[in-house]
């Protein structure tokens, strides 16, 4: 009996030793995984950071430190909101407050202010992190500098506004149409995309009666000649200029037509 008890005790010791070995190996693998993850995150070129619901930073990667010219120890424990432009802080706070498990990650573009006072744009993509009680404990975010993109978009919008201003103030009638073709690239119709006030005047129609509607619907009496003249411009891209009497408008026009892109034709009508 004593021998049996001794053998049983030895077996338990071996089993416990094996369990400890398994735990050590598991903890070692977990540590290696965490180190690998930390290395990947730290070397990521985007700004990766975590913060508590009150905005206090709990983690920043090297890119975040470099971008704001601060050491990691200077950033951890401070609020990420200090870098957000004062005029955008409420916007960012409201965005963070709306992050939830159901919607997942969500993005917002906002301004930040660098140490030298320079104002730049960032795209913030964040998600909420929950504990076992389904309470938000932290937020994880990724920041990306989108200043050049914002500047390009603004320049493009300014260019469009300038273009629309010029078109609307033209004394000559202007219209932009998108041609519709059949399978053999024969003209079927065209959609009115844009027109100016001068075109409204000669047509006798308001903009909401014209835009996004087909020419044959808006002007059912349109002569085939107009399609024959302008249709090739939409396919070849070669501009054309001609004079023609419009029975529909009871006017004689000089027309200059060109294609800003495939299947589109812009035309300027001068009453002669």
| Closest among 112, 127, 123, 142 to 44, alpha carbons compared | 142
3-state DSSP assignment of residue 154: helix
pTM of the model: 0.57
pLDDT for residue 36: 46
From the CA atom positions of the chain, what is the Rg in Å?
A: 34
* 127 in Cβ contact with 138 (< 8 Å): no
Phi–psi pair at 243, nearest 5 degrees: -120, 140
* 26 in Cβ contact with 19 (< 8 Å): no
- Sequence-distant (6+) residues with CB within 8 A of 44 are 61, 63
User: What is the chain's mean pLDDT, rounded?
Assistant: 83
pLDDT for residue 251: 78
> In angstroms, rounded to a whole number, what is the distance separating the alpha carbons of residues 76 and 57?
5
pLDDT in tens, 164-179: 788 878 888 998 999 9
pLDDT for residue 85: 95
Spans in the chain with pLDDT lower than 50? 1, 29, 31, 33, 36-37, 40
The HSE-up count of residue 98 (CA atoms within 13 Å, CB side) is 12
- Sequence-distant (6+) residues with CB within 8 A of 181 are 187, 188, 235, 263
pLDDT for residue 14: 58
């Amino acid at each position: 009996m004593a021998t049996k008890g001794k053998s049983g005790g030895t077996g338990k010791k071996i089993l416990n030793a094996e369990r400890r070995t398994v735990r050590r190996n598991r903890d070692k693998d977990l540590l290696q995984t965490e180190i690998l993850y930390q290395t990947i995150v730290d070397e990521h070129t985007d700004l990766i950071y975590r913060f508590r619901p009150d905005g206090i930073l709990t983690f920043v990667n090297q890119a975040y430190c470099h971008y704001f010219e601060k050491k990691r120890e200077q950033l951890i424990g401070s609020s990420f909101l200090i870098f957000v432009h004062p005029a955008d802080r409420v916007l960012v706070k409201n965005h963070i407050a709306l992050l939830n498990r159901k919607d997942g990650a969500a993005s917002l573009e906002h301004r930040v202010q660098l140490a030298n006072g320079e104002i730049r744009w960032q795209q913030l993509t964040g998600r909420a992190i929950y504990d076992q009680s389904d309470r938000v404990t932290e937020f994880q975010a990724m920041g990306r500098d989108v200043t050049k993109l914002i500047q390009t978009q603004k320049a493009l919008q300014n260019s469009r506004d300038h273009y629309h201003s010029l078109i609307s103030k033209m004394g000559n009638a202007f219209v932009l149409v998108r041609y519709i073709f059949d399978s053999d690239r024969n003209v079927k119709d065209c959609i009115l995309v844009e027109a100016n006030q001068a075109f409204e005047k000669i047509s006798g129609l308001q903009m909401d009666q014209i835009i996004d509607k087909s020419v044959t619907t808006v002007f059912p009496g349109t002569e085939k000649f107009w399609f024959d003249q302008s249709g090739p411009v939409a396919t070849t891209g070669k501009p054309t200029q001609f004079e023609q009497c419009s029975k529909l408008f009871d006017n004689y026009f000089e027309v200059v037509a060109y294609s800003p892109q495939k299947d589109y034709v812009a035309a300027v009508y001068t009453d002669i």
